[in-house]
Amino acid sequence: MAGKTINIKVKVWRQGGKYPKGQFETYDLKDVGTDMSFLEMFDVLNEQLVSKKEMPVAFEHDCREGICGTCSMVIDGQPHGPMKGTTTCQLHMRSFKDGATITVEPFRAKSFPVIRDLVVDRSSFDAIIQAGGYISVNTGQAQDANAIPIEKDTSEKAFDAATCIGCGACVAACPNSAAMLFTSAKVSHLATMPQGKVESQKRVQAMVNQMDKEGFGMCSNIKACEAECPKEISTDNIALMNREYLASVLGSDKEG
Amino acid sequence: MSDKLKSNVPEGDLAEKWMNYRGTMPLVAPGNKRNIEIIVVGTGLAGASAASTLGELGYKVKCFTFHDSPRRAHSVAAQGGINAAKNYQNDGDSVYRLFYDTIKGGDYRSREANVHRLAEVSRDIIDQCAAQGVPFGREYGGLLANRSFGGVQVSRTFYSRGQTGQQLLIGAYSSLSRQIARGSVTMYNRHEMLDLVKVDGKARGIITRNLLTGKIDRHAAHCVVLATGGYGNVFYLSTNAMNSNVSAGWRAHKKGAFFANPCYTQIHPTCIPVSGEYQSKLTLMSESLRNDGRVWVPKKKEDCKKDPLSIAEEDRDYYLERIYPAFGNLVPRDVASRAAKYVTDDGRGVGATGLAVYLDFASAIERYGKSEANMKGISNPTKAQIVELGEAIVKEKYGNLFHMYEKITDENPYKTPMKIFPAVHYTMGGIWVDYNLQTTIPGCFALGEANFSDHGANRLGASALMQGLADGYFVIPYTIGTFLSKEIRTPIYSAEHTDLEKLKKENTDEEGNIKEFITPNAPEFIEAENAVKERIKTFLNVNGSQSIESFHRRLGRIMWDYCGMSRNAEGLAKARKMIQELRAEYHKDVFVPGSNEEYNPELEKALRVADFMELGELMVCDALNRNESCGGHFREEYQEGGGEALRNDEEYMYAAAWEFTQDNSDWNLHKEQLEYKDIEVKTRSYK
Ligand SMILES: Cc1cc2nc3c(=O)[nH]c(=O)nc-3n(C[C@H](O)[C@H](O)[C@H](O)COP(=O)(O)OP(=O)(O)OC[C@H]3O[C@@H](n4cnc5c(N)ncnc54)[C@H](O)[C@@H]3O)c2cc1C
Ligand code: SF4
Ligand code: FES
């Protein structure tokens, strides 16, 4: 680890408190270690602000390991920044050049209203899951876990979809603010597992309807979601969801 | 045994206690459940599983989390796996063996009956999670796969690549979501519990702050379940999520819940070493890596700064394999961490700071590569072919961990050994609970990492997820009935603005006696609410010159230096004084920006750090009281040959449960004597 440092400017969206309408503020940061993570850089910035008795920049984070889905920043126009398959908290300053001005904004979407600065409200995602993102099994009703063998490949496929962290970058990346990638990841995780197949058509209808109700946009196949998804969730899941949805509308599950 | 501590362990044979108890304990009839309200704080594995199951059973549940969604709870970050005595591998596992391993791993400081129950229900957990659609790792035949974790000689750990916590939490979260949709659970996201409310000695509710608006609310219920996680962040630097904190438990403690074994801290041997002053979080590299990684340092000090690849095999000290041939790299965490400390203390640490050891996958890559080549029928494979095939297997097993390591350190662990070092990871101590998971406050329960009962002085890998889900899915739904069955006649009026006098009248019998009823308008609630508001105001008014973060960092440093991997009486006494001084300084000179009536993470932090400052002192007292070494608690004065922990079973085979007294720096100690009837107490040896 080299211990290099860079000087940067951070142009940050501030909203709330002193900034009722919302605007950019630019801050200078000197001698930023390149081994620092992007959020550690924000910690340093906030320490500076607090030392001047100013309100620090509000941003959300928790695990800082790329798994909880809490962090959410648009960095130089890209949700979660320039590194592919990487959340904001896993991004490091070595991805930036000395002298750079880095622009940081919240995830923007009608269904993700800004709370303060870089913090948005993503409870619309919970509502989609509540509409049907589960298998209806009560505690204690399960049979032995090995009673249903599942092909390794099938299980891995379900797992890949299930790794979605619910961050919302897909929505922020989409010009239509669609939540198709997020919703389809859950639909496809559960529809792929034999345990989840039984109610899969009811599920897909309920979830898609909820997605519309929450005000997310339509999908027009741009695939920006896949490109920005930190977990590299595939748009194949969207195709699968569309098939499931169509089948459910046509009522093919009611046959025989 | 202190007469304030009743463990309420049922009579009978260890192996049958739980089954018999479950079959005979008082229940609440379905019709009555609808009239009973339960508050669950926390949506990690313990909280989400408890809230959803209690909702399924028909109780009215209110569930709280400070996160923006239940799915973000710290449990999501667990990597390696979850144990269960399924014996699917037919390698000699059994309920008894899991029980035995856990007791021994905990260095004979946990409660026998609780641990046995944990081992029993472990099997149901896997069934439940599979039914929820958790995509566990599988073999080609379609059956569930297992790996090994430290401190055991069987393969009983179920996993979903390196994201087991995430997958289990999503399972519990989806069950919880289903109950939210059904209306049996009301979810309060972004609400932080700031106090517990007791009425007539029973826990009857909580005071919360809405983190978006600052509004302080009173919530009443028949009982309160705390599933609020561990307190490792008292050390500032730990592998815990940034927002994990002790406040819910600490507030309950100050209202009368005893806090047990606070000094039992788990320092995890395989974390990415600290790289700079600005750091606020450490990253775990899952213990599962020790299945295949070999830990070593150079034999010679002068080799420590060299490129590890240039150090010849005979100049490497694979010290775990050398000292502990029976368990090798898979010794328990406390043992592995201490060993790393000894070799770095000896000046043989590596990396820029000298505070790191190597975790090397070269042998595993070669071994897997050869066997793959064999399977693929490649005769005389080249070295490059072997490496390529081997790397592919290692990638399949640990890909996401390697990826994470590379992102953080900018080094490729397939090509050069990882550098790792111990870091604070888990807290075995917590709120004291009886067999029913009830605290010393009637009607207040504690589950998951927040309680103290199952892991003794050291937790084995992959058993926290097991415990959280055991408590939430399979224990509390039953044991809560022991309290609630006596509450079915207590009406609740949960609206915040009911007229107290009117309610009193309604609940007065012919003889003029007022019947017990629950309302958030009771004076105890109002008093607690006012106290919370006052506390917030005090912090906002200090207007000092130092940041909350800087105080937290200083506290962490004291804890790590004097109450970390090894402790001694002199250092602990010093630490206690330092903490008291730091706390006084905090209340005089901290700066909390903004106001209460807004989204203000700094204010949240200010309240949490204040509680850590009090907890820190209790941890030091506990460590000072325990004149022995056991598990994660290593007192330098008590060791034998080669730095092994020296227990003192004569005097310290007890759980230390501390009672808060009104003086912030003074606690009463209550001892729960531990008895081992079904297991022979031995010196722990992994050699
Ligand atoms: C990096 C890492 C990896 C791990 N890997 C493993 C592993 O492989 N296997 C294993 O068995 N264990 C592992 N562990 C340990 C394990 O993850 C935890 O012990 C366990 O998940 C704790 O679960 P919990 O439900 O008790 O608490 P948590 O998951 O910490 O949940 C606490 C909940 O309480 C809420 N809360 C807390 N205080 C308040 C308050 N005042 N008001 C409102 N809400 C509150 C939080 O919002 C959260 O929802 C790991 C731990 C770490 C740090
Ligand atoms: S699909 Fe990807 S971008 Fe969208 S919420 Fe899930 S992890 Fe985030
Ligand atoms: S902070 Fe958890 S994913 Fe970034």
* Record: contact A62-B56, CB cut-off 8 A: no
Q: Within 10 Å of residue A222's Cβ, how many Cβ atoms?
A: 14
> A11: CA distance to ligand 3 center in Å?
21
**pTM of the full structure:** 0.97
Unique residue bearing structure tokens 């009239």 = B35
A61 CA → ligand 3 middle, Å = 5
Average pLDDT over residues A184-206: 97
Chain A residues with CB under 8 Å of B409 CB are 1
- Assess contact for B672 and B655: CB atoms under 8 A: yes
B348, B298 Cβ separation under 8 angstroms? yes
Domain ranges for chain B: 268-424, 520-652
Q: What mean pLDDT do residues A185-209 have?
A: 97
Q: Which residue has the tokens 């949490």?
A: B608
- Please name the member of B69, B126, B131 whose beta carbon is closest to the beta carbon of A135: B131
Q: Which residue's alpha carbon is nearest to atom 2 within ligand 2?
A: A229
CA distances from A61 to A93, A146, B602 (A): 17, 37, 13
Q: Give the pLDDT confidence score for residue B3 in this predicted structure.
A: 81
Facing B591 at nearest CB: one of A17, A36, A53? A53
For residue A1, give how far its alpha carbon lies from the nearest alpha carbon of chain B (Å).
Answer: 7
**CATH of B268-424 among 1.20.140.10, 3.90.700.10, 3.10.450.30, 3.40.50.10680:** 3.90.700.10
Mean pLDDT of B152-174: 94
Q: Distance from the CA of A212 to the center of ligand 3, in angstroms? A: 27
Residue nearest ligand 2's atom 6 by CA: A164
Contact with chain B for residue A173, Cβ under 8 A:
no
A47 touching B (Cβ < 8 Å): yes
Cβ of B635: how many Cβ atoms within 10 Å? 22
Listed in sequence order, the DSSP H helices in B222-318 are 247-254
How far apart, in whole angstroms, are the C-alpha atoms of residue B610 and residue B608?
5
Instruction: Give contacts of A141 with chain B, Cβ < 8 Å.
Output: 131
Task: Give the span between the Cα atoms of A111 and B481, in whole angstroms.
Answer: 41
Inter-chain CB proximity B130 and A58 less than 8 Å: no
Q: Do A70 and B408 touch (CB under 8 A)?
A: no
User: What is the rounded average pLDDT of the residues A249-255?
Assistant: 64
State the pLDDT confidence band at B1, using cuts at 50, 70 and 90. Answer: low
Task: Specify the pLDDT at position A1.
Answer: 43
Cβ contact B76–A67 (<8 Å): yes
- Token look-up 């009522």 returns A251
**What is the 3-state composition of chain A as percent helix, strand, coil, each rounded to the nearest 5?**
40, 15, 45
Angle at B144 between CA B143 and CA B147, to 5 degrees: 135
Q: Calculate the alpha carbon distances from B234 to A215, B245, B660 in Å.
A: 42, 8, 18
Token pair for B543: 């207007």
Residues A242 and B443: their CA atoms lie apart, in Å, by: 49
**DSSP three-state, residue B601:** helix
- The DSSP letter of residue B446 is E
Q: In angstroms, rounded to a whole number, what is the distance separating the alpha carbons of residues A11 and B212?
A: 25
Q: Is the CB of A230 under 6 A from ligand 3?
A: no
Q: Which fold has domain B520-652?
A: Methane Monooxygenase Hydroxylase; Chain G, domain 1 (1.20.58)
Q: Report CB contact under 8 Å: A115, B599.
A: yes
3-state secondary structure string, B155-189?
Answer: CCEECCCCCHHHHHHHHHHHHHHHHHHHCCEEEEC
| CATH, range A123-251 | 1.10.1060.10
Every domain range in chain A assigned CATH 1.10.1060.10: 123-251
pLDDT above 90 as % of chain B: 90
**Mean pLDDT, chain B, whole residue set:** 95
β-pair partners for A29: A8
Give the tokens for residue B554: 């200083």
Q: A163 CB less than 6 Å from ligand 3?
A: no
Tell me which amino acid residue B288 is. Answer: S
Q: Tokens 């389809």, residue?
A: A184
What average pLDDT does the segment B378-395 reach? 95
Question: Mean pLDDT, to the nearest integer, of B215-221?
Answer: 97
In angstroms, what is the C-alpha Rg of chain A? Answer: 21
> Residue range B121-134: average pLDDT?
98
Confidence of residue B65 (pLDDT cuts 50, 70, 90): very high
Provide the H-helix boundaries in B415-546.
464-469, 476-484, 500-506, 523-542
Nearest CA to A177 out of A210, A214, A206, A218 is that of A218
Q: Does A218 touch chain B (CB under 8 A)?
A: no
Using the Cβ of A65 and the Cβ atoms of chain B, whether some distance falls under 8 Å is answered with yes
- A172, two tokens: 């922020």
| Cβ burial B389-402 (10 Å sphere, 16+ → b, else e) | bbbebbeebbebbb
* B131/A137 CB distance under 8 A: yes
pLDDT number for residue A252: 55
Starting at the edge strand that comes first in sequence, how are the strands of the sheet with A19-33 ordered?
A19-33, A5-16, A101-105, A74-75, A78-79
Select from A1, A115, A195 the Cβ nearest to the Cβ of B409: A1
The maximal CA–CA distance of chain A, rounded, in angstroms, is: 72
Count CB neighbours of A36 within 10 A. 21
Closest ligand 3 atom, CA of A69? 3
Q: Among A83, A89, A92, A107, which residue has the most ligand 3 atoms within 8 Å of its CB, making it the best to mutate?
A: A89
pLDDT at A255: 43
Torsion sign (Cα): B240, B244, B248, B253: positive
Note whether A156 contacts B135, CB cutoff 8 Å. yes
Mean pLDDT calculated for residue range B202-212: 98
B64 CB within 6 A, ligand 1: yes
Which residue of chain B comes nearest to A38, CA vs CA?
A: B408
Q: CA-to-CA distance for A172 and A181, rounded, in angstroms?
A: 11
CATH class of A5-115: alpha beta
Instruction: For ligand 2, pick from A83, A233, A236 the residue to mutate: most ligand atoms within 8 Å of CB.
Output: A233
Q: How far apart are the first and last CA of chain B?
A: 35
Helix (H) or strand (E) holding B579: helix B569-589
Nearest CA-CA distance, residue A148 and chain B, Å = 8
User: A63 in ligand 3 pocket by Cβ < 6 Å?
Assistant: yes
The H-or-E segment that residue A28 falls in is strand A19-33
CB contact under 8 A, B276 and A33: yes
C-alpha closest to that of B452 among B106, B14, B216 = B106
Atom 7 of ligand 2 has which residue's CA nearest to it?
A: A164
Evaluate: CB of B193 within 6 angstroms of ligand 1: yes
B47-66: average pLDDT: 98
- The beta strands (E) that lie in B299-435 are given as 316-317, 357-360, 418-427, 430-431
Mutate to test the interface with B, among A59, A62, A121, A187 (most CBs of B within 10 A): A62
Q: Give pLDDT tens digits for B421-474.
A: 999 999 999 999 999 999 999 999 999 999 998 999 999 999 999 999 999 999
What are the helix and strand counts (H, E) for chain B? 19, 23
CA B419 from centre of chain? 25
- How confident is the model over B248-271, as pLDDT tens digits? 999 999 999 999 999 999 999 999
What is the least distance, in Å, from the CA of A8 to any CA of chain B?
17
Picking from B677, B675, B555, the residue whose alpha carbon sits closest to that of residue B620 is B555
Digit-coded pLDDT (tens) for B277-286: 889 899 999 8
In angstroms, what CA-CA distances link B224 with B50, B54, B205, B253, B395? Answer: 12, 12, 6, 14, 44
CA dist A65 and A61 (Å) reads 10
pLDDT 10s digits, B641-684: 778 899 999 999 999 999 999 877 789 999 999 999 989 998 88
Shortest distance between the Cα of B265 and any Cα of chain A, in A, equals 20
- The token pair at A47 is 């320490």
Among B178, B241, B209, B196, smallest CA distance to B48 is for B178
Angle at A170 between CA A169 and CA A173, to 5 degrees: 80
Closest CA to B634 of B681, B684, B580: B684
Q: Please tell me if residue A121 touches chain B, with a CB cutoff of 8 Å.
A: yes
Neighboring chain A residues of B601 at a CB cutoff of 8 Å: 56, 58
Amino acid sitting at position B466: M
**Best to test chain A binding among B52, B56, B57, B134 (most A CBs inside 10 Å):** B134
In this prediction, residues B197-223 reach a mean pLDDT of 98
For B466, counting Cβ atoms within 10 Å of its Cβ (0-12 exposed, 13-18 middle, 19+ buried), the class is buried
Q: What distance, in Å, lies between the first and last C-alpha atoms of chain A?
A: 64
- pLDDT, tens digit (0-9, with 9 covering 90-100), for A217-228: 999 999 999 999
Residue nearest to atom 30 of ligand 1 (CA): B229
* Rounded average pLDDT over B120-140: 97
The bound ligand whose nearest atom lies closest to the alpha carbon of A163 is 2
User: What's the CA gap between B69 and B452, in Å, rounded?
Assistant: 26
- Which tens digits make up the pLDDT trace of A19-45? 999 999 999 999 999 999 999 999 999
Tell me which amino acid residue B528 is. Answer: A
Of B666, B222, B678, residue with least CA distance to B484? B222
